Structure 1
Amino acid sequence: MDTPSPTTLEVFFDGGCPACRREMAHYRAQPGAEAIGFTDAAEELTRLADVGLDPMAAIATLHARDADGTWHIGVPAFREIWLRLPRYAPWARRFAWAIDSRALAWAYAVFCRLRLPRRCRDGRCPA
């Protein structure tokens, strides 16, 4: 019997956000995804407490924690996901300058700010 590969990254995403859920489902279906653990931050509050992650911060912005315990937040979290997926890794390396750009960080922050008020309007945000 084969032993499962250890995860090298745990990703905390907003499972209550349809766009976020679709994107994480896409990543889960990729070769190499077995190295990534996906945690729905809207549902797994105990896990958030275990790693010291504030529930509102976890649903507001993508967070990833690598095997060394280093946190990657926002666009850098996407880079860490992409680096573990063979289909995306060459692009993550080739366009590292763009991934690290302030413009992309700003665009992602705007997306998060626009998404969150709609997401929390019905009271489904974690307390």
Structure 2
Amino acid sequence: MDTEQTGPGREQIAVYFDGACPMCAKEIAYYQRLDTAQHVQWVDVAGPNPSCPIGYDQQTLLARFHVKDMQTGQIYDGAAGFAKLWTAMPAPWKHLGTAASLAPITWLLELGYRLTLKVRPILAKHLFKRS
């Protein structure tokens, strides 16, 4: 795939997500519906033999949200990953992503993200049951 060009049908980022987590799957499905320009390559790393970026393994990718910038190769995780994802979405998410990329805001969002990671198993079990 030619990752040097961007535009409709060209992935700008790759999102690595836990498709086995009901909460994560619902959230990713929401973002997938927004990605009408197809700027995102969606990679479910929960299954066997997932496609992992060099230097990362399945357990690392399942433990935290990761996003890879396809042009630079840089990988963002946690709140910084969400900020990167949001910038690839249409407005108003794109604007939220730009704001969330600012260091003080990213830091605050990271605190919230870490709290969410701690309660994710409980939320996934009770609030986001698969139908």
User: Under a length normalisation based on structure 1, what TM-score does the superposition of the two structures give?
Assistant: 0.76
Contact 2:17 2:45 in 1 (8 A): yes
More helix per residue: 1
Residue aligning to 1:25: 29
Residue aligning to 1:106: 111
Q: What is the CA–CA distance in structure 1 between the aligned matches of 2:123 and 2:33, rounded to whole Å?
A: 28
Structure 2 residue runs of 5 or longer lacking an equivalent are 1-7, 125-131
1:33-55 residue CA offsets vs partner (Å, 9 max, x unmatched): 5010111110153412x533221
> Is the aligned partner of 1:63 residue 2:69?
no
Q: What is the CA–CA distance in structure 2 between the aligned matches of 1:29 and 1:92, rounded to whole Å?
A: 17
Percent identity, aligned pairs only, is 25
Root-mean-square deviation (CA, aligned residues, Å) is 2.6
User: Cα distance, 1:22 vs. partner?
Assistant: 0.6
Q: What is the CA–CA distance in structure 2 between the aligned matches of 1:94 and 1:118, rounded to whole Å?
A: 27
Q: What is the CA–CA distance in structure 1 between the aligned matches of 2:98 and 2:123, rounded to whole Å?
A: 34
Superposed, 1:112-127 pairs within 5 Å as 112-115=117-120
Q: State the AA in 2 paired with 1:112.
A: L
Residue aligning to 2:128: none
Q: State the AA in 1 paired with 2:55.
A: G
Moved >3 Å (runs of 4+):
94-99, 116-119
Structure 1 residue runs of 5 or longer lacking an equivalent are 120-127
Aligned residues: 115
Q: What is the CA–CA distance in structure 1 between the aligned matches of 2:74 and 2:48, rounded to whole Å?
A: 20
Residue aligning to 1:37: 41
1:44-76 residue CA offsets vs partner (Å, 9 max, x unmatched): 53412x533221111111001111210001111
Q: State the AA in 2 paired with 1:25.
A: A
